[in-house]
Amino acid sequence: MRLALVGLPGSGKSTVGRQLARRLSLPFTDSDHAIERLIGCSIREFFEREGETAFRDIEQSTIADLVQRDACVLATGGGAVLRAANREALRDACKVVYLHSTPEEVFRRLRHDSARPLLQVKDPLERLRALHAERDPLYRETAHFVIETGRPSVPTLVNMIIMQLELAGIAPPRP
């Protein structure tokens, strides 16, 4: 089974993905971490030095590679769905789960996170609202399942995803 998680930056893809992989006894991969290993620097540095197009090219080839690997749980970067090739590769090769968070929920979780370039703007909440408006239709187009993140704990979100996979006959029912 190959699962991919999509959603806004800060929606919980990496955190939920790690625990989901553990519960399903699958390896976990974070596409952003794979890209950073490949380029030898942070995505932020690469983005500033080479620009978004160069980054999206590397992201596209990395996702194309990752979705062809064995069973795993893959957390994608928040902007991975911006390219049609990524949406198609993810949807065709994986069962895609959209961790839907409102901009307000993401802001509440990340408002003190100074490491995220996304939030280092004059009005981070407005930035999140704009990203949500642009990307929500793309996440929905890509996803097989939509999970509302709201305020549940990470273990609760993992249980919600597993339950959806069981109901769809993708994961065997737990004893």
Question: Has 78 been labeled as part of a binding site?
Answer: yes
The CA distance from 42 to 35, in Å, is 9
| Phi, psi angle pair for 95, to nearest 5° | -90, 120
The CA distance from 22 to 141, in Å, is 27
With CA atoms as reference, report the closest residue to 89 among 70, 61, 54. 61
Question: Has 15 been labeled as part of a binding site?
Answer: yes
CA–CA–CA angle 106, 54, 123 (5° rounding) = 30
The CA distance from 15 to 60, in Å, is 22
Question: Has 13 been labeled as part of a binding site?
Answer: yes
Question: Has 12 been labeled as part of a binding site?
Answer: yes
In this structure, the dihedral spanned by the alpha carbons of residues 120, 85, 67 and 107, taken in order and rounded to 10 degrees, is 20
Question: Has 10 been labeled as part of a binding site?
Answer: yes
Question: Has 32 been labeled as part of a binding site?
Answer: yes
Question: Has 7 been labeled as part of a binding site?
Answer: no
List the binding residues for Mg(2+).
14
List the binding residues.
10-15, 32, 56, 78, 116, 135
List the binding residues for substrate.
32, 56, 78, 135
List the binding residues for ATP.
10-15, 116
